[in-house]
Amino acid sequence: MTYDLSVERYDGSDQHKRMGFFTDTSLCIGCKACEIACKEWNHVPEADLVHRGTSMDNTGTLGADTWRHVAFIEERQPVELGDDGEGGLRWLMSSDVCKHCTHAACLEVCPTGALFRTEFGTVVVQEEICNGCGYCVPACPFGVIDKRKEDGRAWKCTLCYDRLKDDQTPACAQACPTQSIQFGELDDLREHAQARVAELVDRGETRAQLYLSDPADGIGGGGAFFLLLDDPEVYGLPPDPIDTTADLPGIWRTTALAAGTLLAGVLVAGFAGRRR
Amino acid sequence: MILNSERRPEGDRRGSRAGGPRSGGRDGGPTVPPAVPRSYYGQPILNRPVWTWEIPAYFFVGGIAGASAPLALVASLQGNRPLARAASAAAVGGAAISPVLLISDLGRPERFLNMLRVFKPTSPMSVGSWILASFGPAVGLGAARELLGVLPRLGRAGQLAGAALGPGLSTYTAALLANTAVPAWHEARDELPFVFAGSSLASSSAAALLLTKPASAAIPRRMAVLGAILSLGATATMERRLGELGAPYRDAGAAGTVARAAKTLTATGGLVVAVRARKGRRRPVVGALALLAGSALERWAIFRAGVASAEDPAATVGPQRARRDARERAAATERNGA
């Protein structure tokens, strides 16, 4: 596999157009075909079924063995002004996935170079290199990548790297019956998403919003982004995620200062008490 | 944080919860408080750090090794052979144990050499792997000089290299934690390196106090007091600045209990060593052990606090929601003003 390790931050200079997902949750019907298609194509092992008794969600979260996760938000909410909140049942569904961040913390902190940026601008783990150090797990601001216990390595969505290389659509997008999951060139997807959210707001979905579509956000925009019908945290998504590596120059400066303080402490202790 | 991990009941109204108080609709629209769980059924947003006990243990052992290296050099330059031997032994011992701890935490231990496959300044773990890999041979040469009496010149060069790399070894682990999405670690980025520096000073001097006769231990006695003061001061600043995010340090949970024990032990150890320094006849065994235990527990508390913080969706959502709301308010003001 050939790749350039210096491409830690995607700058659009690769030969291919950047490819991505636009997940329009207003079209999601919660069928979970994406979860199944992903599992089958990528040979993702069975994950523990969770029955929380809160919703139709028995997948729970994204993790090493769940690369697509359909969230179900079921709640009573007022349907008209003056309602006491028991008026109607709102049901939101959303298929979550790795965001393939422009500034990807998992990739930046990976000490082995196992995580890399593909020619499609996606972020992929090379399983033959990963040694299971686990640094990418707390680095991800979305709780996507995780270590597979029985295997010891880190796993996550590859945006079907193998299918992309063969000009195929990723399995989840291919299986989605409502085109809630749309795959394509990121620029086109963003343009389409802008039009779609405007249309929904016009129709009265006042809280409809795009999530991770802005290249100026804390992760430089997602290669996978979303149209949500409410605030991100409702779907279990962080409302203003950042790639903490942006703060790393400052962290290194503080660390150097602390290391200098340590050295000074030894020198002071060593020479302060000497007879002059 | 108010939300913690309890499950949001259906129909629970939005109020001053994880997102902070929100009055009025967005952009001055009509105020209909939507009934929304401010998290997804109270589930964590972040994945739980997968590191096990070896990692905080390594923070402790690597911290001792790193700070012992400059101590060995200073002692050797002053002709204090017993202290130079003790500190060299601590440095080389810690440098030998550290990789064992780190490798046993790997999911694929047989691939540990992949750590040296690339060098990435964006990854504190990569930088640290290279520091540790060069620190070991350096202090090994220094120990050969002090403990075996061979290689005087190469040994001195090793001591110098070890003294230069050691402070980095003791503190890069703080950068490693700070460069994660875990709120209690990332938001402590201005203080964590100083906590680790102080803790390493205290524990390395405690190791030297145990391994050296009091007559040769004036330097580690002073170092222990400096280290205890730096560690306690930086910890107090960190907990205060973390505010709500520092709750795991104060709560009754595992991290809070350990954090309190760590502070008590460090303060006690520092005091005992300072007082006994006046007498200087017997080894301050109790004081040194208290300092060692305090330093180990401090790293454990920080580790546990991070795990607790990662598991609390409010710790992730709260500050981000506040930041986003402030930005949107500022943008709205600008639009209206223009």
For B95-123, the pLDDT digits (tens) are 999 999 999 999 999 999 999 999 999 99
CA dihedral B201, B204, B210, B214 (to 10 degrees): -50
* Listed residue (B158, B119, B163) closest to B137, CA to CA: B158
- Does B14 score more than 50 pLDDT? no
Q: Region B28-53: what's the mean pLDDT?
A: 74
Name the minimum distance, in Å, from the CA of B46 to any CA of chain A.
4
The span from the first CA to the last CA of chain A, in angstroms, equals 64
pLDDT recorded at residue A85: 57
- Does B32 score more than 80 pLDDT? no
Question: Is residue A271 located within the same domain as residue A166?
Answer: no
* Listed residue (B309, B307, B328) closest to B318, CA to CA: B309
pLDDT recorded at residue B27: 44
Q: Which of A108, A141, A247 sits opposite B189 (nearest CB)?
A: A247
Question: Is residue A275 located within the same domain as residue A171?
Answer: no
Question: Is residue A141 located within the same domain as residue A78?
Answer: yes
Question: Is residue A214 located within the same domain as residue A275?
Answer: no
How many domains, in total, are found in chain A?
2
pLDDT recorded at residue B276: 74
Say yes or no for a CB contact (<8 Å) between A131 and B179: no
Q: Give contacts of B 207-266 with A, CB under 8 A.
A: 218-220, 222-223, 226-227, 230
Within a 10 A sphere around the Cβ of B107, how many other Cβ atoms?
A: 19
Question: Is residue A70 located within the same domain as residue A111?
Answer: yes
Question: Is residue A131 located within the same domain as residue A26?
Answer: yes
d(CA A254, CA B197): 11
In this structure, what are the phi and psi dihedrals at residue A209, rounded to the nearest 5 degrees? -155, 150
* Listed residue (B241, B318, B212) closest to A239, CA to CA: B318
* Listed residue (B297, B181, B298) closest to B235, CA to CA: B298
d(CA A240, CA A141): 9
Who's near B32: CB < 8 A, 6+ residues apart?
A78, A81, B25
Structure-token pair, residue B27: 């952009």
Q: Does B50 touch chain A (CB under 8 A)?
A: yes
Residue A70, in any domain of the structure: yes
Question: Is residue A263 located within the same domain as residue A195?
Answer: no
Chain B positions in Cβ-Cβ contact with residue A63 (cut-off 8 Å): 47
Handedness of CA A88, A235, B312, A53 (dihedral sign): positive
Question: Is residue A78 located within the same domain as residue A37?
Answer: yes
Residue A86, in any domain of the structure: yes
Chain B positions in Cβ-Cβ contact with residue A148 (cut-off 8 Å): 107
For B265-289, the pLDDT digits (tens) are 999 999 999 987 666 578 889 999 9
Domain range holding A176? 19-242
Question: Is residue A29 located within the same domain as residue A60?
Answer: yes
CA dihedral B2, B6, B11, B16 (to 10 degrees): 10
- Does B19 score more than 50 pLDDT? no
Residue A120, in any domain of the structure: yes
Pairing of strands A115-117, A123-125: antiparallel
**HEC profile for chain B?**
CCCCCCCCCCCCCCCCECCECCCCCHHHCCCCCCCCCCCCCCCCCCCCCCCCCHHHHHHHHHHHHHHHHHHHHHHHHCCCHHHHHHHHHHHHHHHHHHHHHHHHHCCCHHHHHHHHCCCCCCCHHHHHHHHHHHHHHHHHHHHHHHHHCCCHHHHHHHHHHHHHHHHHHHHHHHHHHHCCCCHHHHCCCCCHHHHHHHHHHHHHHHHHHHHCCHHHCHHHHHHHHHHHHHHHHHHHHHHHHHHHHHHHHHCCCHHHHHHHHHHHHHHHHHHHHHHHHHHCCCCCHHHHHHHHHHHHHHHHHHHHHHHHHHCCHHHHHHHHHHHHHHHHHHHHHHHHHC
Tell me A240's DSSP state: S
**Entry pTM:** 0.90
Residue A206, in any domain of the structure: yes
Q: Which of B10, B35, B320 sits opposite A240 (nearest CB)?
A: B320
CA dihedral B269, B270, B273, B277 (to 10 degrees): -170
d(CA A124, CA B85): 48
pLDDT recorded at residue A230: 93
Question: Is residue A131 located within the same domain as residue A263?
Answer: no
Question: Is residue A218 located within the same domain as residue A232?
Answer: yes
* Listed residue (B312, B334, B296) closest to B43, CA to CA: B312
Q: Which of A139, A230, A255 sits opposite B180 (nearest CB)?
A: A139
d(CA A70, CA B36): 18
Question: Is residue A252 located within the same domain as residue A216?
Answer: no
| B35 or B77, which is more confident | B77
- Does B33 score more than 90 pLDDT? no
Q: Report the CATH number that the domain containing residue A51 is assigned in CATH.
A: 3.30.70.20
Which of the four CATH numbers 2.40.30.10, 3.90.950.10, 3.30.70.260, 1.20.1630.10 does domain B49-179 have? 1.20.1630.10
Residue A5, in any domain of the structure: no
Pick from A13-22, A36-45, B128-137: least confident = A13-22
Residue A124, in any domain of the structure: yes
Chosen for mutation from B2, B13, B14, B36 (greatest number of chain A CBs closer than 10 Å) is B36
Q: Give contacts of B 125-154 with A, CB under 8 A.
A: 125-126, 129
A·B CB contacts under 8 A: 286
ipTM above 0.85, yes or no: yes
CB–CB of B157/B134 below 8 Å? no
For A48-103, the pLDDT digits (tens) are 788 877 888 999 999 999 999 999 998 776 666 665 656 677 889 999 999 999 99
Q: Give contacts of B 263-302 with A, CB under 8 A.
A: none
Chain B positions in Cβ-Cβ contact with residue A61 (cut-off 8 Å): 43-44, 47
Q: Does B196 touch chain A (CB under 8 A)?
A: yes
Structure-token pair, residue A149: 């216990």
* Listed residue (B296, B229, B313) closest to B259, CA to CA: B296
- Provide, rounded to the nearest whole percent, the portion of chain A with pLDDT above 70: 89
For A160-185, the pLDDT digits (tens) are 999 999 999 999 999 999 999 999 99
Chain A positions in Cβ-Cβ contact with residue B206 (cut-off 8 Å): none
Residue A4, in any domain of the structure: no
